[in-house]
Chains A and B, each alone.
Chain A
Amino acid sequence: MISHKAGEHAAIALTLDGAPVVEQAPPRMLLSDFLRQACGKTEVHVGCEHGVCGACTVRVDGRPVRSCLMFAVQVAGHRVETVASLGTRDDLSMLQRQFHEHHALQCGFCTPGILSSAQAFLEEHTDPTEREVVEMLSGHLCRCTGYRAIIDAVLACARERREGIS
């Protein structure tokens, strides 16, 4: 059994955005804080720390989850992906480009979390209905956009992916 005393720091080895990482954290450190503070992944945003807003969403072993509702010690040996695993400034991913073209972000604070969910969603749903997109998105609060452009961007990306495949 692995055990970590409250006051001690545990060494946590994980695969973060494709690269092996080892960093220290006490047991109570939230995954969101760990990613931002210990691993320098300020791509992960924090908006509520009680699981509602979705800003902190990252993929753990491929599934989008709230990083504010996990502890850093829980990802030891696991694969974590933030939005940094998508495209780069000069080579945006298809999804990021659709967000750009649809003006699906304003302040951009909710965006990394939404992209993390949407990316995983599109990998599972090749031809989603609008209803399905809305349900996926309902796990994220965005106060700027009114959501319409986000829904359109995700649907457009699904279409583009299908066309790319066929």
Chain B
Amino acid sequence: MKPARFDYYLPSTLEEALAKLSELGSEGKVLAGGQSLVPMLNMRIAQPAALIDINGLVELDAVACENGALRVGATVRQSTLERSDAALGQVPLLAQALPLIGHWQTRNRGTLCGSLAHADPSAELPLLLAVLDGSVEVHSSRGARTIAARDLFVSFFTTSLEADELIVAAYVPVAPARRCYAFDEVAQRHGDFALVSVACAAEFDEQGALAYLTLALGGASEVPLVVETADALGRHADRELIAALAERASVACDPPSDHHASAAFRRQLVRTLTGRMLTALLRREEAAAT
């Protein structure tokens, strides 16, 4: 299990990296944390002619708060976020999602941006970006653009990035005052990719009615799926509404079947997790209100 041969580049500036990317096109692969890419190289599932290691780009190793969003640079490790009280305070959902990603040892290398670029539909961070309606800042030697989460994920392990483009940073919106969040998943073991994961962001008004709701599903479709919930706004999240939303989520998704879980079972998990998560949120809200 040894990788095939490749040329190795370690740019020290973003310009160098982008120039190399555009020169190599689809022959080159970006190496970030390597936690998804290197296993594929070792198994020779991927055999790029060259690797462009972005770990030398110190300028991308930064977390900052900009325009109501946490800007997470491309070489920021998942465990660095996990250790940052500031980051977790601004995006509480990170505190729930990060510990579910692999293990401490893999999070010590793995990056948030790498996980987004990898676009595994079962991965936690794409789901997080989708439910929070975040975006990525993408650069190439042709210029820069911002891609919203909903436009980034195209299919299983496929994004809308061009071969010469690099995700330079991810923007994860900071939590508004009254917003509450939940993240839950069923995985076979601790640290495994989820069979199904569910995340939501919600806000209740003074009367306890839903003022805001986003619900998104991981592992249940070829991309993180945001479920339509507009008609729930203004309503009280009673049992009936929760059951209806859970049902809707399970119908809206199009889960894959594999030996770990059939599509039918994944749908069932979506229904259960959604129902339980909304119920728990509601309870939390009620408890906070009294």
Contacts and interface: CB of A to CB of B under 8 A. Distances in A.
Whether A and B touch (Cβ < 8 Å) is answered with yes
Interface of A: 1-7, 10, 26-28, 30, 33, 49-51, 54, 57, 63-66, 68-71, 73-74, 117, 121, 134-136, 138-140
Given A136-B104, A139-B104, A68 B42 contact: yes
Interface string B27-51: 0000000110011001100000001
Nearest to B9: A3
Interface of B: 1-12, 16, 20, 34-35, 38-39, 42-43, 51, 53, 55-56, 79, 99, 102-106, 108-109, 189-191
Given A69-B34, A69-B35, A135-B99, A57 B105 contact: yes
11 contacts: A1-B16, A6-B6, A30-B42, A57-B105, A63-B108, A65-B105, A69-B109, A70-B38, A117-B105, A135-B103, A135-B190
Given A6-B8, A70-B38, 8 more contacts: A3-B8, A3-B10, A10-B8, A27-B8, A30-B3, A50-B42, A73-B8, A135-B103
B88 to A, nearest CB: 16
Contacts of B3: 28, 30
A66 to B, nearest CB: 6
Nearest to A61: B108
Nearest to A63: B108
Interface centre among B79, B99, B104, B106 (most CB of A within 10 A): B104
A28 B149 CA distance: 33
A3 to B, nearest CB: 5
A139 B8 contact: no
Contacts of A140: 105
A148 B4 CA distance: 40
A32 B104 CA distance: 19
Contacts of B43: 50
Contact of B109 (A1, A66, A121): A66
